[in-house]
C-alpha cells in the first residue's frame, strides 16, 4: 500500500467536475463547454445574460459556494500536471508536461544523483495522515546503477507505517530520483550533497 501523494485538487472538486462532464455521456472533457442562459418567461426568447465556461470553471464556482475557495497551497506534481494537461489538451498536452518535467530534472546542475546524496521528502498533512517526512540515501548498487534506501521517517509511531513509508526505495536503478521527482514533485524534495543543499524545493 502506497501512501497517496498530496494533490492540489480537492477530491470534492474533482467529483463535482466529473458530474458536470458526465451530463453528456461519452463526451471528451477537453471539448466540453458549459453555457447558462437566462430565458425570458413565456416568450421562449433569451436575454443577453449568459455565462459560459469550462466544466472545471463551473465546478469551482459550485465548490466555492459550498466549501469556500479550493486550497491551492501545494503546486501539482509533474504527474498531476500531466493529468490536468491531458484533460485539457489531450495526449499532446500530457506528453509536453512530462517532457518539461523530465528536462527540469535532467538539466538540474546537481543531476545525476550520486552515492551519498541525501533526499528528504516532505508530506503535507492529508486526511487522517499527519504532516511527516522521509529521508533517503543514494547508494552504489554496482554495474553503474544506484540504490535509494530509506534512512528515517517522522511518521508518528501511533500510525500504521507498514507499507506507507519507504515506498520510493529501490534496490537498483539508473535514475533513483525519477519516481520521487514525478510522483511526489520537486516542490516537496530537498536534496543534500556533501553537507550542502543542492535542491531546496521543500523550503518555505
Digitized pLDDT (tens) for each residue of the chain, 204 residues in all? 344 444 445 667 778 888 888 888 888 887 888 988 877 776 666 566 788 888 888 888 887 887 776 665 566 777 777 777 777 777 887 888 888 888 888 888 899 999 999 999 888 776 666 778 889 999 998 888 999 999 988 887 655 555 677 888 888 888 888 888 888 888 888 999 998 999 887 554
Let me know whether 193 and 143 are in one domain. yes
Could you please report the per-residue DSSP string of 47-85?
A: EEEEEEE-HHHHHHHHHHHHH-SPP--SPPPHHHHHHHH
Let me know whether 153 and 186 are in one domain. yes
Let me know whether 56 and 91 are in one domain. no
- Count of structural domains within the chain: 3
Let me know whether 196 and 117 are in one domain. yes
Residue 141 belongs to some domain of the structure: yes
Residue 188 belongs to some domain of the structure: yes
Let me know whether 16 and 58 are in one domain. yes
Let me know whether 99 and 123 are in one domain. no
Let me know whether 173 and 129 are in one domain. yes
Structural domain ending residue among the three candidates 107, 123, 156: 107
Let me know whether 130 and 171 are in one domain. yes
Whole-angstrom CA distances from 55 to 86, 122, 183 are: 15, 32, 26
Let me know whether 30 and 98 are in one domain. no
Let me know whether 150 and 182 are in one domain. yes
Let me know whether 55 and 80 are in one domain. no
Asked if residues 94 and 83 have their Cβ atoms less than 8 Å apart, the reply is yes
Residue whose entry in the numeric block shows the C-alpha cell 539508473:
174
Residue 3 belongs to some domain of the structure: no
Let me know whether 103 and 117 are in one domain. no
Instruction: Give residue 168's domain range.
Output: 113-200
Amino acid at each position: 500500500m502506497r501512501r497517496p501523494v498530496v494533490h492540489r485538487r480537492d477530491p470534492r472538486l474533482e467529483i463535482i467536475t466529473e458530474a458536470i462532464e458526465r451530463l453528456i455521456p461519452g463526451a471528451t472533457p477537453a471539448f466540453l463547454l458549459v453555457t447558462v442562459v437566462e430565458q425570458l418567461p413565456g416568450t421562449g426568447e433569451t436575454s443577453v445574460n449568459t455565462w459560459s465556461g469550462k466544466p472545471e470553471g463551473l465546478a469551482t464556482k459550485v465548490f466555492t459556494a459550498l466549501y469556500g475557495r479550493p486550497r491551492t497551497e501545494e503546486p501539482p506534481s509533474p504527474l498531476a500536471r500531466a493529468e490536468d494537461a491531458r484533460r485539457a489538451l489531450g495526449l499532446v498536452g500530457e506528453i509536453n508536461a512530462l517532457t518539461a518535467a523530465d528536462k527540469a530534472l535532467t538539466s538540474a546542475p546537481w543531476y545525476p544523483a550520486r552515492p551519498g546524496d541525501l533526499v528528504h521528502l516532505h508530506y503535507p498533512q492529508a486526511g487522517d495522515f499527519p504532516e511527516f517526512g522521509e529521508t533517503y540515501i543514494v547508494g552504489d548498487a554496482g554495474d553503474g546503477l544506484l540504490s535509494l534506501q530509506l534512512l528515517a521517517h517522522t511518521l508518528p509511531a501511533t500510525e500504521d507505517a507498514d507499507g506507507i513509508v519507504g515506498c520510493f526505495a529501490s534496490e537498483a536503478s539508473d535514475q533513483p530520483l525519477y519516481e520521487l521527482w514525478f510522483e511526489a514533485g520537486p516542490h516537496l524534495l530537498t536534496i543534500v550533497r556533501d553537507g550542502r543543499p543542492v535542491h531546496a524545493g521543500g523550503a518555505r
